[in-house]
Amino acid sequence: MGKSQTDEPVNDLVLEEEYAGKPIPHHLRRNWVSTAAIYSGMCATISWCMSGGGLISGLNFWQAIISLAIGILVLICFIYVPLGKIGAREGLNTYLIGEAAFGSKGSNIVTALVVTAIPCIAWYGIQVGLASGAIAGVFGMGPVGTGIMSVVFGIMFVIPTLFGQKGMAWLNYVSVPAMIFIILYGLYKAISIAGMAGVVAYEPAAPATLMWGINLQVGMVVVGCAFISDYTRWQKDGNGGLIASAFVGMYPFPLILTACGMIMAISAVGLGVADPWNPVSVMIALGLPAIALILIFLLQWTTCVTSIYSSSLALIKVFGGKRWVWSFVSAIVGTALAVFGFINYFMTFVTVLAAWVSPAIGVLIAEYYFVSKMKLIRKKGFYWPGLLCWLIAGLIAWKVVFFIPAINAIVIAGILYLLYHKLFAKAASAAAGEEIAQ
């Protein structure tokens, strides 16, 4: 790339704005290391400790490790690589790519609301709940005090997003050092309490299947992978680089952090913790100092601003208006979820994500690779075949639990979409829109 992309950060914002609605030209593309670095940073969050605690609620240590490794591999093979390839070939973001499968208005519903805004607002409620729980744990507050803290933090956390990415950037400087401190200290405390022999010998009170663990893992990350085109659109089109960015960006941090979260959660379960997926409960049980809980508060702040920023952009895509207005609206709804204890539904939330985000991916893949033969043909209005296939596959994945529901949803949605075009509307896709010229 030229100097404008690497040496003058201010120009990155200009380029982002300029190419928000059109393909990024090849001379501005980056190598795969950039995408891998972005995803490594996204994976370095305390949420992976939640994932580890969630896994050991139904699996023993080695089963959880296996389900984690398989879950990430599933994400890479079924979501990251095929969607990332579309972004790298076409140079367009997720919302515009979605117009090929759902139409310009239909993409607002599926990719903007279901895949982006609703999960981000719900995630904001979970993260605010974690942050308020951490501070409440430091000062020994009860439910009322925790609720008040949720309101205070729910309003506070949205402020940096009002100033855009520059206002958010300073928070990220504390993330990695804080994460390293929390994980290493928590790991030391956990092993000193239970010992590795106790961790390996752990058996859950209510055993679940390996498929359950894989689906939980997929549900944790499916939204992040569904956005992959937003980043690979800046990447040079090449299968080798795409696969390299997937494995380098997706595997190291999740494996390490989730394994550490499992060890801490197993030790906390031995001390009577009933919700091992909640890192605040785990760390209080392990006797971590107040500074660790305060650092959790800061880490959740960095996650919250990202959620609100993405949500506000998605809502502008759907309804128009100003970003700061939708930032406040998103924060208010998310704060209300935190006050009413939405964090207690974390496991259910992950399951729902896996069921409803995944079929959108299946429709996108079927449209691009099998119906339009690797041409991006965007459509106007609502493209009902795509919307109905997404809806039917989502309902099946949500209500009929077998194998890996998230993968079931991708496959079912893709097959339904392909069958429709084979049987009833072979030329419908081409007739409904036009190919985007590079």
Q: How far is CA 58 from CA 217, 258, 275, 291, in A?
A: 13, 15, 12, 30
- What would the pLDDT profile of 366-376 be if each residue is shown by its tens digit? 999 999 999 99
Instruction: Write down the pLDDT at residue 97.
Output: 92
- Helices of type H across 21-115: 32-43, 47-56, 61-75, 81-90, 94-102, 104-107
Chain centroid to CA 360: how far?
A: 15
Q: How many whole angstroms separate alpha carbon 20 and alpha carbon 15?
A: 8
* 15: confidence class by pLDDT, cuts 50, 70, 90: low
Q: Residue 342 in contact with residue 125, Cβ under 8 Å?
A: yes
Phi/psi at 273 (5° precision) = -70, 130
- What would the pLDDT profile of 325-382 be if each residue is shown by its tens digit? 888 999 999 999 999 999 888 878 888 888 899 999 999 999 999 999 999 999 989 9
Q: How many whole angstroms separate alpha carbon 70 and alpha carbon 90?
A: 29
Does residue 192 register a pLDDT over 70?
yes
Q: What is the longest distance spanned by two Cα atoms in the chain?
A: 66
Instruction: Write down the pLDDT at residue 7.
Output: 46
Q: How many whole angstroms separate alpha carbon 181 and alpha carbon 288?
A: 11
Rounded to 10°, the helix 346-365/81-90 angle is 50
- What would the pLDDT profile of 100-157 be if each residue is shown by its tens digit? 999 999 999 998 899 888 998 998 998 898 888 888 877 888 889 999 999 998 998 8
Q: Which tokens sit at 172?
A: 């990220």
Most confident of 45-49, 64-68, 174-178, 298-302: 64-68
Work out the end-to-end distance of the chain between its first and last CA atoms, rounded to an integer number of angstroms: 18
Q: Which tokens sit at 22?
A: 């059109």
Map out the domains of the chain with their CATH numbers: 43-345 (1.10.4160.10)
DSSP state of 189: H
Q: Residue 351 in contact with residue 216, Cβ under 8 Å?
A: yes
Q: How many whole angstroms separate alpha carbon 380 and alpha carbon 316?
A: 18
Instruction: Write down the pLDDT at residue 165.
Output: 47
User: What percentage of the chain exceeds 90 in pLDDT?
Assistant: 37
pTM, full prediction: 0.81
If you average pLDDT over every residue of the chain, what do you get? 83
- What would the pLDDT profile of 235-285 be if each residue is shown by its tens digit? 886 788 899 989 988 888 788 888 888 999 999 999 999 889 888 888 888
